Chain A
Amino acid sequence: MVLKRNVSLASALRYKGQGPMLTYILHRIGGVGMAVFVTVHILASFVGGKAGIFANSIYESWLFQIFIFFCVLFHAINGLRITISDLWPKLIQHQREAIWVEWAVFLPIYGIAVYIIIRAALGG
């Protein structure tokens, strides 16, 4: 069985999936981001030495921390929403409201963390 899609990239980008589609994309980006980070992190602590210190210097930079914290926090909160609505399928009807709640939980935590990361990066 070979799946064939007749959707061009341009029309895919114009697809109005709105909230659920956005969380789906961000969940995927977050998952891949974490997988790459954890792989590099385990390998770096295994290899150690100069390569390990070099890898350390990458993920100690504030830009990377802002990115990886987005991945972890969004993936965790969105994953919890998916888990809850999948274990109690009746709740799927309310998924748009659940996504609003999700952003209401995510944005304050992420905002505070980004503020602290940038404040630390500026040296104080």
Chain B
Amino acid sequence: MTTTKSRNLPLAKRGINFEMIMWIFTRLSALAMYALILFAIIGALIMGARTQMNMADVLRWGFMPNLSHVQNTNVPDIAPWSTPFWRAVGSLLLLVATAHGVHGLVVICDDYIVTPRGRQIVRFISIVFMIAMIVIGLYVVWTL
């Protein structure tokens, strides 16, 4: 088996630019989403699992700690689920996930759209789309 040695340039030679920051952001936000989802699952277990809440509902809460994810199920007491604390956790997950996802879509588009003009258009659309999804998502998290 051939072993390839990875090329390690020091940071000073490599330089820091936007793409490099987004590259590391994609990795760190993945870890952050793992932590947030685990945190929400633990919260769901504390608040609801002891009252015979089923696993699917616990996971639905875990993937997005948002009130509308439990209010249609047979959770007896809605109050602990709609505190500003959980809305803030939900907002944080929304922001991290939207940035991670939209950047991922831009990376995919860059593989197929290669003209500078096209890439500019992709970036413009992605920024508009990202702001729209964040505003709508925050509205859903904080008002419904």
Cβ of A38 to closest chain B Cβ, rounded Å: 7
- If A2-B115, A89-B6, A90-B6 touch, whether A42 touches B136 (CB-CB below 8 Å) is yes
B108 touches A32 (CB 8 A): yes
Task: Please measure, in the bound complex, the distance between the C-alpha atom of A39 and the C-alpha atom of B59, giving whole angstroms.
Answer: 19
A45 touches B30 (CB 8 A): no
Task: Please give, as numbers and ranges, the residues of chain B lying within 8 Å of A87 by CB-CB distance.
Answer: 27
CB-based nearest B residue for A79? B30
Say whether chain A's binding surface is mostly helix, strand, loop, or mixed: helix
Chain A residue total in the interface (Cβ 8 A): 26
Task: Please give, as numbers and ranges, the residues of chain A lying within 8 Å of B108 by CB-CB distance.
Answer: 28, 31-32
Task: Please measure, in the bound complex, the distance between the C-alpha atom of A120 and the C-alpha atom of B68, giving whole angstroms.
Answer: 22
- If A34-B101, A42-B133, A83-B27 touch, whether A2 touches B140 (CB-CB below 8 Å) is no
A86 touches B27 (CB 8 A): yes
A93 touches B144 (CB 8 A): no
How many A-B residue contacts, CB cutoff 8 Å? 49
B101 touches A31 (CB 8 A): yes
Interface residue ranges of B93-144 to A (CB < 8 Å): 97, 101-102, 104-105, 108, 114-116, 133, 136-137, 139-140, 144
Interface flags for A83-112 (1: CB within 8 Å of B; 0: not) read: 100110110110000000000000000000
Task: Please give, as numbers and ranges, the residues of chain A lying within 8 Å of B97 by CB-CB distance.
Answer: 38
A43 touches B136 (CB 8 A): yes
Q: Is the CB of A15 closer than 8 A to any CB of chain B?
A: no
Task: Please give, as numbers and ranges, the residues of chain A lying within 8 Å of B139 by CB-CB distance.
Answer: 46
Give 20 A-B contacts (CB < 8 Å), ordered by A residue.
A2-B114, A3-B114, A31-B104, A31-B108, A35-B101, A35-B104, A38-B97, A39-B133, A42-B133, A42-B137, A42-B140, A43-B136, A45-B68, A80-B30, A80-B34, A86-B27, A87-B27, A92-B6, A93-B3, A93-B4
**Which residues of A line the B interface, CB within 8 A?**
1-3, 28, 31-32, 34-35, 38-39, 42-43, 45-46, 72, 76, 79-80, 82-83, 86-87, 89-90, 92-93
